[in-house]
């Protein structure tokens, strides 16, 4: 069977759906597989990640003393790439103990014994983890008799059992399994690529031509981004030193009522190490709501202040900036640091005094909004910039703030790794730190898809009881006003409905047409429990913590992207009480069903981001637009991750060899054209 016989996208989707259905039928949510370092088990691992999520796949590596060391290294590459759970169990002692008295044992006997021993281990762990054992044998191996009875053939089911070896290789290339496991493609010459993209003889030539232009496209993008980083990072040696004092950091941590998670400690160490090694930090911190990104940012701001440098934190709204300020002001003053708030509401004499003190270096940390990037804000020694809710700011906005501090370190935070954030981290503009651990004791939010009037009425009755018990509720609509063109819920229609059903409750309204001050006032009243219910649009997607809010209801949920739904859901569950999210939609399209089912299945923001990326698109790499068609024409950032990484590595190597200079004049011109608008501040 050759490459043209298979639609690889369809094969991938069918295998993923096959796994999901069979796991559901069997009543299991987790899988365990033996990861050998070969292409078959690597492919199955990728399929399990896509079907069940990275947290539900356990890869067990079981080397014997004579195993090729590269095999274990290749297996580890897969684990690292997928971020799945893994365990290494050395089987040498088990096998040698058995064959100690079997001196004449053949290699066939030993091979069969190893296969059965490995399967025995897998089934033991399937019992321990309440997981199913998934097989990794392809059709070619099965036909040729390479699988062992009661060994690798003893799995619960085998997703690649109907794929020949050639199919496995093609699907693996499609899914971008680490290049060390697959022979690298030869790149078509440009002249041939132009001819074949317009006048192809076969599908193979089309694919090779597209790949050639994809690599060229990435080369321009990556070199443009990395060139600027190369200049900054290699200009650092004489201009930037940190003594490494941490006493105030320790004092701050001792004030907290909780201990840092291991994930938080890991990210802090990553940033510490970069700074101590003289690097400029350029890092995206991703983590779900409640994972503790802000604490990590505060630790680093205190660390820089203790070592003689200023820090700034920019939030997208005044009320969120105020929340950050009030949350840390007292704690920072106790350890001898001065923090100030700078927003558009602060004016006149008070503002001038703050600006003067910032310029003199008397303010250690400044928290603010877009006001921080105004021309009259001048820092004396700004060295750390923190951007909260990264997806609310464009590249140029954060660059404008960064320019206020020579060689300023940059941390950007996002509660959900939305498509563009994922793209940026892949392309090299930002390094990536992930906080993938939630504090202990956090109660998962219960999410339910409401698809009919009967369930809708039950939902209203349930919410009424909860509000009566002192809980607060959000009701979110996709429109502000009723539209003749779209049969969607609007704030005014929802308001009428909620006022009828909750007539004795205090109801507030917030939407995008209100002035910033008005929105902040409404949110503050809701936080202070002056409202029981808040009717809103997506303006609440980024907002202050309201611990008493335990219910999120979203009308026409099919109209929202997965990341937006996840972000809205994150508005509840901030306190100790059980929280709920209701997704109202009577849509019957496959796309809607898929998205809403994912929301019911998981709270894992990283899996949700991956699914969102598949269903939407990357959006513009530069600028403010978050979704829609990417400004990349040939690269699919969902399936071309390995190609992106390969090109990125080559670009880094090239820039190091050429001391940051791009010698090819044509390539240099293309890069300048690509980045001209960005450099102009557009």
pTM of the model: 0.60
Q: What is the pLDDT of residue 681?
A: 40
The contacts of residue 182 (CB under 8 Å, 6+ apart) are 39, 169, 172, 173
The contacts of residue 370 (CB under 8 Å, 6+ apart) are 314, 344, 397
Sheet holding 446-450, edge to edge: 446-450, 580-584, 549-554, 472-476, 533-536, 507-510
The C-alpha atoms of residue 68 and residue 147 are separated, in whole angstroms, by 20
Q: Which residues of the chain have pLDDT under 50?
A: 1-4, 180-185, 237-238, 391, 420-421, 623-629, 677-682
The C-alpha atoms of residue 573 and residue 575 are separated, in whole angstroms, by 6
SS (H, E, C) 438-467: CCCCCCCCEEEEECCHHHHHHHHHHHHHHH
- Cα–Cα distance list, 345 to 29, 312, 314, 427, 603 (Å): 51, 18, 15, 37, 36
The C-alpha atoms of residue 431 and residue 424 are separated, in whole angstroms, by 9
Q: Work out the widest C-alpha separation in the chain, in whole angstroms.
A: 93
């Amino acid at each position: 069977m050759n490459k043209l016989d298979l639609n690889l996208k369809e094969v991938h989707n069918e295998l993923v759906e096959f796994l999901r259905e069979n796991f559901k039928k069997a009543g299991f949510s987790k899988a365990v597989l033996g990861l050998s370092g070969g292409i078959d088990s690597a492919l199955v691992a990728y399929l399990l990640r896509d079907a069940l999520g990275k947290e539900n796949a356990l890869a067990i590596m079981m080397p014997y003393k004579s195993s090729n060391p590269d095999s274990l290294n290749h297996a580890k590459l897969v684990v690292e790439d997928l971020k799945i759970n893994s365990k290494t169990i050395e089987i040498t002692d088990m096998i040698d103990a058995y064959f100690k008295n079997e001196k004449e044992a053949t290699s066939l006997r030993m091979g069969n014994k190893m296969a059965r021993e490995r399967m025995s281990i897998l089934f033991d762990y399937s019992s321990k983890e309440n997981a199913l054992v998934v097989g990794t044998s392809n059709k070619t191996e099965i036909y040729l008799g390479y699988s062992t009875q009661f060994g690798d053939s003893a799995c619960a089911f085998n997703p690649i059992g109907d794929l020949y070896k050639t199919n496995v290789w093609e699907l693996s290339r499609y899914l971008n399994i680490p290049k060390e496991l697959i022979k690298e493609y030869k790149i078509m010459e440009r002249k041939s690529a132009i001819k074949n993209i317009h006048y192809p003889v076969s599908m193979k030539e089309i694919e090779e031509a597209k790949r050639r232009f994809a690599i060229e496209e990435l080369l321009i993008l990556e070199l443009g981004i990395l060139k600027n980083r190369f200049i900054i990072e290699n200009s650092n040696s004489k201009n930037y030193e940190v003594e490494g004092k941490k006493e105030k950091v320790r004092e701050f941590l001792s004030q907290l009522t909780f201990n840092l998670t291991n994930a938080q400690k890991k990210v802090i160490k990553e940033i510490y190490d970069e700074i101590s090694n003289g690097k400029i930090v350029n890092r995206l911190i991703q983590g779900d709501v409640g994972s503790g990104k802000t604490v990590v940012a505060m630790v680093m701001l205190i660390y820089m202040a203790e070592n003689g440098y200023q820090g700034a934190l920019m939030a997208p709204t005044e009320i969120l900036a105020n929340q950050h300020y009030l949350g840390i002001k007292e704690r920072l003053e106790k350890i001898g640091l001065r923090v100030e708030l700078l927003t558009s509401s602060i004016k006149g004499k008070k503002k001038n005094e703050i600006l003067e003190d910032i310029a003199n270096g008397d303010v250690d940390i400044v928290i603010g909004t877009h006001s921080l990037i105004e021309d009259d804000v001048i820092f004396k020694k700004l060295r750390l910039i923190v951007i909260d809710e990264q997806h609310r700011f464009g590249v140029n906005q954060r660059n404008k703030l960064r320019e206020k501090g020579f060689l300023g370190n940059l941390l950007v935070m996002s509660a959900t790794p939305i498509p563009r954030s994922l793209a940026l981290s892949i392309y090299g503009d930002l390094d990536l730190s992930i906080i993938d651990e939630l504090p202990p004791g956090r109660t998962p939010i219960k999410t339910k898809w409401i698809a009919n009037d009967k369930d809708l009425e039950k939902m209203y009755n349930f919410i009424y009881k909860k509000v009566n018990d002192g809980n607060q509720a959000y009701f979110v609509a996709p429109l502000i006003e009723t539209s003749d063109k779209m049969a969607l819920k609007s704030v005014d229609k929802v308001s009428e409905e909620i006022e009828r059903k909750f007539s004795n409750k205090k109801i507030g309204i917030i939407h995008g047409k209100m002035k910033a001050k008005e929105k902040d006032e409404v949110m503050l009243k809701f936080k202070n429990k002056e409202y029981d219910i808040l009717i809103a649009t997506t303006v609440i997607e980024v907002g202050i913590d309201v611990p008493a809010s335990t219910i999120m209801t979203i009308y026409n949920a099919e109209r929202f992207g997965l990341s937006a739904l996840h972000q809205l859901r994150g508005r509840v569950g901030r306190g100790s009480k059980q929280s709920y999210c209701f997704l109202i939609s009577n849509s019957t399209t496959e796309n809607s069903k898929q998205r809403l089912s994912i929301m019911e299945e998981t709270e894992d923001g990283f899996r949700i981001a991956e699914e969102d990326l598949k269903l939407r698109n990357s959006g513009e790499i530069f600028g403010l637009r978050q979704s829609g068609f990417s400004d990349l024409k040939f690269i699919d950032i969902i399936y071309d991750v390995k190609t992106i990484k390969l090109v990125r590595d080559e670009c880094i190597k090239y820039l190091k060899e050429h001391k940051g200079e791009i010698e090819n004049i044509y390539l240099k011109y293309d890069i300048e054209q690509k980045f001209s608008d960005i450099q102009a501040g557009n």
